[in-house]
Amino acid sequence: MIDSIFLKDVSQRKIPLYIYVLILFLIITKVITKSIFAELYDFFLASLISSIICLTLVFFRVKASMHIMGISGLVMFLAILSITYQVNITFALGFLIFMIGLVATSRLFLKAHTFPELIFGFFIGLIPQLLVTYW
């Protein structure tokens, strides 16, 4: 079903994404409750939404970078936590933003993605974190 670990064909991403969506769904419903871990619940819910968006794009033969999606979602989650609890984590955010650039550069260098795929992944990771937190 999969010819290499690099998943060059977009349709080969379906089964790993199905499994990932299932795991995130189980985490949200069985492990983390909104009443005890509200921020963490929101993070995993936004990650689930991002993964479902990626899975939907696979059906339209559009590939988005899930590496960038993950790290941009983490950066937005930490920025929201920083603003909510008024904690200065500038160094950590700066380091993670640097890591976004490093991950994007490596994905381009390995020819695993094109620039538009990286941009799709960035916004697919970023926007759901904002929407879940402030909606």
* Per-residue pLDDT reduced to its tens digit, 102-129: 999 999 999 989 999 999 999 999 999 9
Residue 5 pLDDT class (50, 70, 90 cuts):
low
Distances (CA, A) of 115 to 2, 29, 74, 122, 134: 24, 35, 20, 11, 29
Average pLDDT of span 14-28:
94
**pLDDT for 1 beyond 70:** no
**pLDDT for 13 beyond 90:** no
Q: Is 109 exposed, middle or buried (0-12, 13-18, 19+ CB in 10 A)?
A: exposed
Residue 28 pLDDT class (50, 70, 90 cuts):
very high
Alpha carbon 46 to its chain's center:
8
| pTM as predicted | 0.91
Residue pair 70/125 in contact by the 8 Å Cβ criterion: yes
